[in-house]
Chains A and B, each alone.
Chain A
Amino acid sequence: MSIFNTPDLMAFRQEVRAFIKERLTDEMVQATRSGLHLDPRIMRAWQATLNERGWGAPHWPASAGGPGWNALQRYIFEEECAFADAPPGDVLGLFLAGPMIIAEGNDAQKKRYLPKILSGEEYWCQGFSEPNAGSDLASLKTTAVRDGDEWVLNGQKTWLSSGHYADFMFCLARTDLEGKPQEGLTQFIIDMKTPGLTLHPIMTMDEGHSVNAIFLDNVRVPHENVIGEINKGWTYAKDLLARERVNNAQAPRTKRDILELERLAASLKDEHGAPLADQPQVQRRLASLVMDFVALESAVLRVLASQMRGEEPGPIASTLKIRGSELQQRVTETAMSLLDQAGIVLTPEYGGGLLAPEGNGWLERHLFRRVVTIYAGSNEIQKTIIAKSILGM
């Protein structure tokens, strides 16, 4: 019996499962299965469906529109969505912009932006990294200069996930050139239709388009779009990134992937025609992934429980990001190893291409997931955070 197996939680799981079964369409499932970079129309539709039910943002406080679930309920919900191949939500809006506005935004901003994040009507992107400010984010050079009731922003941002269909960007810009690099930064909300913004796509090695670069050329932003206090942007960014790291552990979706991996092992045959899943070395490899997954899941649940008590996850979330991202890569590496030649030949007789059903999208996932140990603060940065912030080294 697992800790999820209480009558209340089992009933809750059934409720979630029934809702998903009733409302998740085949089109949504097929779109989710057919590739990592979904049509935003599909994602918006599913988000709207969830929001109608009051489940638009399970991790938000009830006062901001969350359903008021505990950590285990929230986890069960994410798990059921992952198992059913429901489209993912707008990570940037739901996990980053929304919680930052809830924590630091004023009432007008909460009223303006939160409902449309919940409903899926408005999507967000993140303007943090710059060509020369990746891991060293505090060295960013994009400036914001006050001009009456407006700020004028100039610079360049990169790695904007969803930037090509986002409605808003939360953007970190330098508002004070004096003092430490971390002290003069401010968070702005920028409408993506604002004149002066020029977007360029960046193609990733999985041949997908999910990230972008953007140039800011005299972009005028009203003062009311400043989040929180001027020059406090770094503090907000640190809290925001810690929240993101909990999500970056991607535990429910990794669980789904390991289950899919087991099905892959059962479907593939060795040279004697026996299923790979029957080989002791394959079984041990899968069991080892399960071992590390359950260890990750236990640690994630501990942090989720503290978040539900109103505590910020803080630097401990870095451990989840490290272990979660490493495990995601190990899962796809195992799939590539099992696929053998079908994993390297891009013709129908073999693997059939990056998205081919024979490979179940493993090739695409394998290539794209090289990024998971790099984004949201590379794992090396996470280790430095742990060493300095937790261990006092």
Chain B
Amino acid sequence: MAIDQNELNLLLDGAQRWFAENNAFDDRVAAFRDGHREQEGAWQAMADMGWLALSLPESADGFEAGAEACFQFIRLLGKHARPEALDVHFMLAPAVARACPDAAEALMSGQMRLGAVDLPGAAGQGADEAALSGRTGPVLGAGATHYVVFVMADGEAAKAVLLAADADGLRAEPARLIDKRDTVLLNLDHARGVALRQEDTGLRPQALRDLAAAGLVADTAGALEAGFELTLDYLKQRKQFGRPLSQMQAVQHKMAEIFCDVQQMSALTETLGLEIDAAPTGDWPTLPVAKAFVGRRALRGLGQLIQLSGGIGVTEEYKLTHLYRRLHVAATLFGSAETQLKRIQVRETLLAA
């Protein structure tokens, strides 16, 4: 990668500070019912700080950071439960810039923002590879000016299309995700965009979709870690029966079990990052494994953190519940655990080397 770890650390430190000072997450806690909206001016600020250039190629004045580096940033997004879909930007902007070189500058300045969405079924299929019809699932990145639509056929992405948010034949229906982030459901009637072909992007449509899923894996690693730290602090403070909850063995052992989940989620994220960087065009045998792990283990772990937190853990103003809701989004979009488990072939995965 063009950016080295020291430069990346500076960027991460800056991001950590900025998130702490512009904590949309805390704002949301105070005004939960209003929704977890992107902050006004956030994209401009992120562009000014150079973040939007992180994964873009050097030829377009980007930092050309690989997946492993991007994951370190995305983990911060998960940790702070940011509403902006920077993960979609980091993971998909390079492919979009390869297919549409003129878009690189707009991507870097934040003028062009990406959302990603599945179009289930074969409804989008037709003679015109760039024309789409049907109703999509929820878009990740509702503030987008362009959507990357993954057209699904028989469970596999048959194509990927870049669609302008104001394209003819596109009607966006506002909605909310379970974690209160804004989303839209797209109603498409022969809406035309730009087909993101493998010869242009360097990636098969399924690989593009897997990159969007990979962003959610890294986001989960951060969110789970944040939930774990929050709970650990709480258990050390909260006293019952005259002593902190953290001194009770039943609680200690449960936390140790969840710590194993946190470690494994983190290790899987690192492995996946290394794998993508080693073979940027695919295949990535760890992807379905890591994405399934989000739905099967990380989600269970966060549920248990709520259990350990007791009553406060189920209240709407408590951060843990927001992280739990966020994990449902990560677990579901771009292939749920059940779908990903079906993709796992025992021999192929275990003998990938």
Interface residues of A (CB under 8 A from B): 1-6, 9-10, 13, 76, 255, 258-259, 262, 283-284, 286-288, 290-296, 298-299, 301-302, 316, 318-319, 322-323, 380, 382-384, 386-388, 390-393
4 nearest interchain CB pairs?
A1-B279, A387-B252, A4-B353, A383-B256
**B350 pairs with A259, CB closer than 8 A:** yes
**B346 pairs with A9, CB closer than 8 A:** no
B324 sits at the interface (CB 8 A): no
| B residues less than 8 Å from A388 (CB atoms) | 252
Question: Could you say which of B252, B268, B274, B347 contacts A295, with CB atoms under 8 Å apart?
Answer: B268
Question: Could you say which of A290, A296, A301, A302 contacts B344, with CB atoms under 8 Å apart?
Answer: A290
Chain A interface SS verdict (over half): helix
**A262 pairs with B253, CB closer than 8 A:** no
B125 sits at the interface (CB 8 A): no
- Within the complex, what minimum Cβ distance (angstroms) separates B350 from chain A? 5
| A residues less than 8 Å from B103 (CB atoms) | none
A384 to B279, CA, bound (A): 40
| B residues less than 8 Å from A286 (CB atoms) | 346
Question: Could you say which of A13, A295, A302 contacts B293, with CB atoms under 8 Å apart?
Answer: A295
Question: Could you say which of B232, B257, B292, B352 contacts A2, with CB atoms under 8 Å apart?
Answer: B352
| A residues less than 8 Å from B249 (CB atoms) | 384
6 A-B interface contacts by CB (under 8 A) = A283-B342, A284-B338, A290-B349, A298-B268, A387-B253, A387-B255
Report, as a range, how many residues of chain B touch the other chain: 35 or more
A380 to B254, CA, bound (A): 10
A384 to B249, CA, bound (A): 8
Total A-B contacts with CB atoms under 8 angstroms apart: 139
Scoring B residues 37 to 68 as 1 if CB is less than 8 Å from chain A, else 0, what string do you get? Answer: 00000000000000000000000000000000
**A299 pairs with B267, CB closer than 8 A:** yes
B32 sits at the interface (CB 8 A): no
**B236 pairs with A298, CB closer than 8 A:** no
**B341 pairs with A298, CB closer than 8 A:** no
Given contacts A383-B252, A393-B255, contact A259 B347 (CB under 8 A): yes
**A299 pairs with B256, CB closer than 8 A:** no
**B350 pairs with A258, CB closer than 8 A:** yes
* Residues 245 to 278 of chain B near chain A (Cβ within 8 Å): 246-247, 249, 251-253, 255-257, 259-260, 263-265, 267-268, 270-271, 274-275, 278
Given contacts A2-B286, A393-B247, contact A301 B271 (CB under 8 A): yes
B17 sits at the interface (CB 8 A): no
- Within the complex, what minimum Cβ distance (angstroms) separates B224 from chain A? 13
Given contacts A2-B286, A295-B289, contact A258 B346 (CB under 8 A): yes
B150 sits at the interface (CB 8 A): no
